[in-house]
A and B are shown apart, each in its own frame.
Chain A
Amino acid sequence: MIDILFYVFAALALGGAMGVVAGRSPVASLLFMVLCLGSVAGIYVLLEAHFLAAVQVIVYAGAIMVLFLFVIMLLNLGHNYHPDLKAGLWSALSFAVAGALFGFLGRQLWGNRTMTPEAGDSVDALVAQYGAVGAIARPLYTEWVVPFEITGILLLVAIVGALVLAKQRV
């Protein structure tokens, strides 16, 4: 049952990802992206990582996608994208970045194909002790607090940048 569901969600996620790239209208692409992100949340549920699934939906499918809708509808609707896509240098650059990304992923997968979880408390024990949220929040705010805060600053920079851009257009 779980295997079947996994393949369903995986197919939906991959199909959604293809749809984002292949879709002609930006709104269709966005909906495909929501489908993709939602399917990933479904896979998290199958892994019993309920908290991650909820956060995935809240953060990506919920908040960010709404803002995406805003941007596309208010700023770019009717804009012709094809000149952007045909620029030679940019496509070469994007191919290079995508290739590098796939290279890293492939290296990870091929390097240690037998994935064994690190020794330590099992997830079930952690969830039983701290609850579904605590099991994630505890390491996040103790061991990994510096990367976490730096990510926060990154988001702040993005917000300030968005404000600057928005102010220019008025």
Chain B
Amino acid sequence: MSGLSPGVFLVTSAVKVVAVFSVLMVAVAYTTLAERRVSAWIQDRMGPNRVGPFGLLQPIADGIKNFLKEETLPGTSTKLFFVLGPMLAIVPALVTFAVVPFAAPLPTPWGTVPMIVADVPIGILYIMALSSLGVYGIVLGGWASNNKYSFLGALRASAQMVSYEVALGLSLVTVLMLTGNVTLTQVVFEQQHLGLWFVLPLSLGFILFVISAFAETNRLPFDMPEAESELVTGYHTEYSSMKFSMFFIAEYAHVITQSALMATLFLGGWDIPFWHGDDAFYFQGQWIQGFDAAGTPVLATLAWWKTLLTLGAFVLKTSLFVLVYIWVRWTLPRFRYDQVMQLGWKIMLPTALAYLMLIAGTILVLDEISVPFGLTYGLILTVVSMIGTVVFTFWLDRDRVISGASPSARWPLPQSMPSVDVPQLSETDPSQAAVGAGGN
């Protein structure tokens, strides 16, 4: 592919695989630190700041700790599947990143190297396939633990992932329709070509994708599989040491990959806004920047500093979404299980279907009246999507669709509530204060 000789292709691919893997692992480590620091900031605490400057060496200390801890193997567990579980969880999480383009192509003396590990022709479908495999690790781990809480967590995880994968896929279809192909490189190029990031023309699709992505990664407010207060952390209760750590790495790798996906699908990927100098796409054997008015391709001018700048843009956008993940986790309470299911099947699925029809109809009309694919095209779609988004957000009212935690009119309280004596805590109880300051 991309006009490289087989030898160069092999070497560059190997370098890219190693580089992306290492960067991803380091990013996972530092996302855990970011999670703890941001959570501390949100809760007005200090967070881990003892190991190294600003606590920067904390992930390394945690890693060493996890390696040195005792590896437990519960006597009643199914041994083979118990060991297999974490492995099956971590592999899909790590290999998904292979199809995400992370920078503009790099010109080298041996040819232009595309900054993507594997530009497979099925792009997004590859990601969907792997994310559907990710649930096996959790289900197997929870089942093999032979612990009812773990098993409940595993079942919740599979139910939740199956439910939200539908909405996730349907919200992706809008992106694919606008792009006309499934490769992520083309998704990035069409956003450069359109002059608008897809977050505007497909705003409701973006919202649906973000919600489903949160559910797919089992993050709060959708962390039913590991709900600490009900399931004693669910599917990984019985795991210790590196096996536990592998579940953790898998979760954070998923967070990073989903963030990278949101950035790529809806925020232009590595595209730098308001500047067409960085646009590049492999089209019929050459790297092009776009098409001129007559429709002939314009060759792209590539440079190493453009690769570096676009890499920076990509990292920035991805970190933004990682921060949103952390922010949401420490801001929102957890859903009830029935609320998760209702949201998935009764709201997300119909909305995604209706939105799909809306976008498909709009694209059909725009193509029929031959509006050229450009800024006007994007702006019309933006207006249509905005209307959809406004309708959706106003319609998604808490008590109308999803019954809240408070008893609503549908389930009236009995007239005579039994009075309960709540023991009062004294305000200066030092043991209570210590509990409040602990944790994490």
Contacts and interface: CB of A to CB of B under 8 A. Distances in A.
A70 interface: yes
B121 A73 contact: no
Contact of A133 (B122, B126, B161): B122
Interface string B113-139: 000000011100110111011011001
B158 A50 contact: no
A132 B129 contact: no
B224 interface: no
A66 B143 contact: no
Contacts of A127: 121
B81 A63 contact: no
Interface stretch (A10-18, A54-62, A155-163): A54-62
B311 interface: no
Contact of A54 (B122, B159, B165, B183): B122
A70 B158 CA distance: 8
B133 A62 contact: yes
A67 B162 CA distance: 9
A69 B158 contact: yes
User: Mostly helix, strand, loop or mixed at chain B's interface?
Assistant: helix
B182 interface: yes
Given A63-B162, A70-B158, A131-B181, A58 B132 contact: yes
Given A66-B161, A70-B158, A61 B132 contact: yes
A132 B181 CA distance: 8
A62 B122 contact: no
A34 interface: yes
A50 B121 contact: yes
Given A66-B139, A132-B182, A73 B162 contact: no
A50 B120 contact: yes
Nearest to B182: A133
B171 to A, nearest CB: 16
B175 to A, nearest CB: 13
B129 A57 contact: yes
A54 B151 CA distance: 29
A51 B125 contact: yes
Contact of B121 (A27, A58, A131): A131
Contacts of A133: 122, 125, 181-182
A57 B125 CA distance: 10
B155 interface: yes
Contact of B125 (A55, A65, A73): A55
Interface in A22-47: 27, 31, 34
Nearest to A67: B162
Contacts of A61: 129, 132-133
Contacts of A69: 139, 158
Contacts of A65: 136
A47 to B, nearest CB: 13
Nearest to A132: B121
Interface string B96-122: 000000000000000000000000111
B135 A66 contact: yes
B132 A73 contact: no
A67 to B, nearest CB: 7
Interface string A119-150: 00000000100011100000000000000000
Nearest to A56: B129
Contacts of A55: 125
A70 B130 CA distance: 20
Nearest to B135: A66
Interface in B135-171: 135-136, 139-140, 143, 151, 155, 158-159, 161-162, 165
Interface string B411-423: 0000000000000
Interface string A58-94: 1001110111011001100000000000000000000
A57 B133 contact: yes
A131 B182 contact: yes
A66 B182 contact: no
Contacts of B81: 27, 31
Contacts of B143: 27, 73
A132 B180 CA distance: 11
Contact of A34 (B122, B130, B136, B182): B136
Contacts of B132: 57-58, 61-63, 66
5 contacts: A54-B126, A57-B130, A74-B155, A131-B182, A133-B181
Given A73-B155, A74-B155, 13 more contacts: A31-B81, A55-B125, A57-B130, A58-B125, A61-B132, A62-B128, A63-B132, A70-B158, A73-B151, A131-B182, A132-B121, A132-B122, A133-B182
